[in-house]
Amino acid sequence: MNQQTIAYENYSWTTPFLENTIWLGVFVLGSIIFLLFNAWAAMIYLAYSLLCIYFLIPKLVCTSCSYYGKTCHSGQGRLAALLFSKGDTTLFNSNFKYMRLAAPVFLAPIVAGVILFFLNISWERMALTIGFGVLALWCTRIVTKRLGCPNCNQNLVCPGCQKIQT
């Protein structure tokens, strides 16, 4: 049976709400892990996370997306339109490389948590790090894979959708 999906011109508000709720959970858990180092590390991580996800990515990637000014699965299309002028949509594929800037948001707390665990072995620290990993690497991927990419009108040209669908 061939199952067709419908590309959304605008996503329901529930999809970006869920995705951003998970992201905020990632930021909070990541900040808690860095807080075990010190308060400055936690503040720097939180500031970078918020700046990256809600400013840099909308500026560098979302301004060239066809969802600019519309409700995409992350809601950043509307945010980009509020903050920045529209870019060239033909550059979306090449601009997607800037998504790499978000890697530290999702990976740095795992590295920090493992270091903390080995410096002072604690099952609570390991549970916090594993919980962060599940939320940051598994839950975000599931939401994107199940709710975002299948109905995105750019999924055939988006490098992120191509990686997630394989």
For residue range 78-126, list pLDDT tens digits in order: 999 999 999 999 999 899 999 999 999 999 999 999 999 889 888 889 9
Domain that holds residue 72: 14-161
pLDDT at 1 over 50: no
Q: Is 9 a domain residue?
A: no
- Number of structural domains, the chain? 1
Q: Is 150 a domain residue?
A: yes
Q: Is 1 a domain residue?
A: no
Cβ-contact 70, 9 below 8 angstroms: yes
The amino acid sitting at 45 is: Y
Integer CA distances (angstroms), 65 to 13, 94, 98, 121, 151, in order: 18, 11, 13, 45, 15
Q: Is 116 a domain residue?
A: yes
Stated pTM of the model: 0.88
Nearest to 36 by CA among 103, 107, 128, 106: 128
Burial class (CB in 10 A: 0-12, 13-18, 19+), 83: middle
The amino acid sitting at 72 is: C
Query: pLDDT tens across 128-148, in order?
Result: 999 999 999 999 999 988 888
